Amino acid sequence: MINAIWKKTLTGAAAALLLASVAQAQDCKPKHEFKTITPGVLTIAVTNYAPHSFIDESGAMRGLDGDIATEFAKRECLTVKPIAVDPAAAIQYVLSGQADITTGDWYRTAERAKVMNLSYPLYKDQMGLYSKDGVKTVEDLVGKKVGTVQGYLWVTDAKKMLGADLRLYPNSVNMHQDLQSGRIDIGIDGYSNGAYAAKNGSLKDVKIEIAQPDDRIRATKEAAQASLPYAKSATDFGTALDANIQDMHKDGTIAAILKSYGLDEKAGDTGEPMLIE
């Protein structure tokens, strides 16, 4: 008798939840009209690049880009479908029509804009200086053993300035390990990576500072703007995406997301959209 009552109660609860979900879906009204690859679904190619983009232990998409994309989906009554991908394949997922967007701190560059559309800026990705002494200026790099990660905007300028004193790494993890062990004196990386790592107890004894502006390294004066890349043909989708991102800037949503990952909300003050050559 007890089992029968319990089963009946569960059945009733499940039915109530189902009806509530259906009612909620019916009540949700998209702010814009546009198509996605799968109707009613926002398919996202998710790279593993904390704090910008990652999938947590529960299988949920997280990170700065992930949370912004999730909020966009919520405001447009879409279900989120994350697909974990390698960064090298993420852009191709969008170009080939397997994903609507990709997350992972994708810069608004002129070269990238030739093959795909780039959303309204999400936040600025500032150049950070990592050291045990708390260096803040480009001049402090001179005469030191410096490391950075391949592919960043400042690499070309840093090479010209530092020559053989600059060591390139395939990823941030390897560079941070060499910095902590003393094999390099200073690391150059995105400020957001260090701020997030510090919040989570990593990079002990390492201080992270935003590099002060210096003409010798252009990236210190023109911080890159992060975006959500999408297909050239998805114009209505892009209009909706941009409008929602702008609303999130205005209503404080993006500032709150930045703060939740230990970052300064001022990183959300992107200025007008621009493309880095």
Hey, what are 44's tokens?
């996202």
What is the distance between the alpha carbons of residues 209 and 137, in angstroms, rounded to a whole number?
9
| pLDDT above 50 for 179 | yes
DSSP state of 164: G
Hey, what are 50's tokens?
């904390």
Burial of 212 (0-12, 13-18, 19+ CB in 10 A): middle
pLDDT value, residue 196: 85
pTM of the model: 0.81
Q: Which residues contact 248 (CB under 8 A, 6 or more apart)?
A: 68, 71, 72, 254
Superfamily name with CATH number, domain 31-124+224-268: Periplasmic binding protein-like II (3.40.190.10)
Hey, what are 132's tokens?
């045990």
What is the distance between the alpha carbons of residues 62 and 39, in angstroms, rounded to a whole number?
23
Q: Is 93 left (phi over 0), alpha (psi -120 to 50) or beta?
A: alpha
Question: Which of 61, 42, 43, 40 is CA-nearest to residue 52?
Answer: 61
For the chain, residues classed under CATH 3.40.190.10 are 31-124+224-268, 127-220
| pLDDT above 60 for 14 | no
Task: Report phi then psi at 159, rounded to 5.
Answer: -65, -45
Q: What is the pLDDT of residues 226-264, one digit of tens each?
A: 999 999 999 999 999 999 999 999 999 999 999 999 888
pLDDT value, residue 72: 98
Q: Which amino acid is at 120?
A: Y
What is the percent of the chain with per-residue pLDDT over 70, rounded to a whole number? 91
Q: What is the pLDDT of residues 231-240, one digit of tens each?
A: 999 999 999 9
CB 85 within 8 A of CB 45: yes
pLDDT value, residue 269: 94
Q: Please report which confidence band the pLDDT of residue 27 belongs to, taking 50, 70 and 90 as the band edges.
A: confident
CB 94 within 8 A of CB 230: yes
| Secondary structure of residue 259 in the 3-state scheme | helix
pLDDT value, residue 203: 81
Question: Which of 47, 104, 42 is CA-nearest to residue 79?
Answer: 42
| Secondary structure of residue 16 in the 3-state scheme | helix
Integer angstrom CA distances of residue 48 from 45, 53, 91, 242: 10, 6, 14, 24
User: Range with the lowest mean pLDDT among 90-94, 146-150, 190-194?
Assistant: 190-194
Question: Which of 262, 222, 227 is CA-nearest to residue 241?
Answer: 227
- The label of the residue with tokens 């909020």 reads 71
pLDDT value, residue 172: 85
Q: Please report which confidence band the pLDDT of residue 1 belongs to, taking 50, 70 and 90 as the band edges.
A: very low
pLDDT value, residue 26: 60
pLDDT value, residue 195: 84
Average pLDDT over residues 143-166: 94
Query: CATH top-level class for 127-220?
Result: alpha beta
In what order do the strands lie in the sheet containing 106-107? 106-107, 224-227, 124-125
Return mean pLDDT, the chain. Answer: 89
Q: What is the pLDDT of residues 118-139, one digit of tens each?
A: 999 999 988 999 999 999 999 9
| pLDDT above 90 for 223 | no
